[in-house]
Structure 1
Amino acid sequence: MTTKTAVVTGASSGIGAATARRLAAEGYRVVLVARRRDRLEALAAELGGAGEAVELDVTDAAAVSAFAAGLDACDVLVNNAGGAIGADFVATADPADWRAMYEVNVLGSLHLTQALLPKLVASGAGTVVMMSSTAGHIVYEGGAGYAAAKHGTHVLAETLRLELFDQPVRVIEIAPGMVRTDEFALNRFGGDAARAAAVYAGVAEPLLAEDIADCVAWTVTRPSHVNVDLLVVRPRAQAAQHKVHRVTE
């Protein structure tokens, strides 16, 4: 049987890297997409023949189109590239931060989906995974820009599913809650390690990137007629966006 191909964006770290490892373990050929070539090449070497590194900025529509044109096949697309910038209130937020979040979280996913959709349809059993967030479903103070971007990802998934109802492509949305990775919170707060650490302070067991990778692998390996429309995943300690069990000394 022909090995299936999975394209994973944002594969240089965090959930993307963990997803790439997990899909490779499931037998996929994994095309690793991100901007940091050194990290991608290291991961590709780790995965052996199952990994292929492609340096790509998902916000560059022309570069995405060229990438797609050179790809022989695509069975699974994991639109994972994204991220948050800042935690400012609406009154003081920098529009440039909002624009940057929208570009990568929404338009990046749009570019990859548009470019690879013909190959996903041609596969006869394609899968698009949109990595959104609980922030795309429930807002919180200081999170409007990120919540708006992830709501855009959510809407993209829902609309695409409607538009592809008669095509052999399923659309899966995974919405993680609190996930501790090496870079997400650190990048959000401009490298401020103390603020980043405070996000997870007292939470004994936040989710890890591997937990979300496990969810991706489970959803994409279901029989092709099974569509997991939306999978919301939180750690047990996070009952809701604002309700988190924290243990203090």
Structure 2
Amino acid sequence: MTNTDRLPSELRSPEPGTTALVTGANSGIGLEIARQLLGHGLTVWIGARVLDKGQQTAAQLGAGARAVQIDVTDAASIAAAVQQVGEVDILVNNAGVNPGRDDISRTSLEQLRSAYETNVFGVISVTQAFLPALRRSAHARVVNVSSGTGSLTWNSGPNPQFDWERVKGGGLAYRSSKTAVNAVTLLTAQSLGDDIKVNALAPGLRLTNLIAGMSAGGDPAEAAAGAVRLAFLPDDGPTGALWSWDGTRAPW
């Protein structure tokens, strides 16, 4: 869909009244994405599976933040969120799970189902539900938070992105689900054309609660800045690609 290797340096300034929805926004990268979008004057819906957590986060973030209960694996919850949110210009599909780091010999079907229900089917379901609203926006953007560990190119041999020998074959459920997210991103962008920019973000390893007991990783705010950059792409900006948090294109 695009032949550029780096995101444009000049981004679009959002108009007054621009509204965003960020799923899984009550913690981690999603929280930082919401915080930074609010800093640009947007109204931001804090999507949270548990409403109380979303409300607490919205209160913490202050003016412009609103809470909405949305479980991306539940059709009724998504439909209710569509009714509550109404118009939306920017959709950030951030909600995700990592059910384990096992390889094919130890990964259960339950782990795979869990990963795909949230990470893949959730992205598709939420995007489909909000598509009518996005079509009404003059500058609609969809950002799917993916992972560099879902890149088949980077998974095929030694690379500087992660310790290939250590992770080789591991994390089957999570990593393959993110490969699927990359495919969904490309095919969605091809379907929607240039009217709605659809891109995926490889945020890098961040210190979040995605992996239980994780004690290493970079600042989630740094990754969030990459998502915000995709949310503010100019109208002639790229679509249908996977981007690293620093604005460079990542391989499928």
TM-score range, shorter chain: 0.7 to 0.9
For the pair 1:145 / 2:173, whether they are aligned, the reply is: yes
Alpha-carbon distance in 1 for matches of 2:50, 2:79: 19
Alpha-carbon distance in 1 for matches of 2:181, 2:106: 24
Match of 1:65 among 70, 75, 79: 79
1:1-249 equivalence runs, <5 A: 2-137=16-151, 138-139=154-155, 140-165=168-193, 168-181=195-208, 183-186=209-212, 193=213, 196-197=214-215, 200=216, 206-227=217-238, 229-233=241-245
Deviation per residue, 1:127-182 (Å, 9 max, x gap): 0001000111044322111111101110110000100115x21001101221122x
Alpha-carbon distance in 1 for matches of 2:27, 2:84: 24
- C-alpha displacement of 1:79: 0.2
- C-alpha displacement of 1:34: 1.3
The size of the alignment, in residue pairs, is 217
Deviation per residue, 1:99-130 (Å, 9 max, x gap): 00100000111111001011111112100001
Task: Find runs of 4+ consecutive structure 1 residues off by over 4 angstroms.
Answer: none
- C-alpha displacement of 1:2: 4.0
The TM-score, its normalising length taken from structure 2, stands at: 0.81
Paired letter, 1:180: L
Paired letter, 2:141: T
Alpha-carbon distance in 1 for matches of 2:50, 2:125: 19
- C-alpha displacement of 1:43: 1.6
- C-alpha displacement of 1:27: 1.0
Give the number of the structure whose residues are more often strand, by fraction.
1
Paired letter, 2:59: A
Alpha-carbon distance in 2 for matches of 1:34, 1:161: 26
Q: Which has the higher contact order (CA 8 A, sep 6+)?
A: 2
Give structure 1 stretches of 5+ with no counterpart: 187-192, 201-205, 235-249
Alpha-carbon distance in 2 for matches of 1:147, 1:46: 32
Alpha-carbon distance in 1 for matches of 2:60, 2:102: 39
Alpha-carbon distance in 1 for matches of 2:66, 2:142: 19
Deviation per residue, 1:197-239 (Å, 9 max, x gap): 3xx3xxxxx42110111111122223232126321238xxxxx
The TM-score, its normalising length taken from structure 1, stands at: 0.82
CA RMSD across the alignment: 1.6
Alpha-carbon distance in 2 for matches of 1:227, 1:221: 11
Alpha-carbon distance in 2 for matches of 1:146, 1:213: 20
**SS of the residue aligned with 1:128?**
strand
Do the aligned residues in 2 keep the contact of 1:12 with 1:36 (CA within 8 Å)? no
Deviates further, 102-111 or 221-230: 221-230
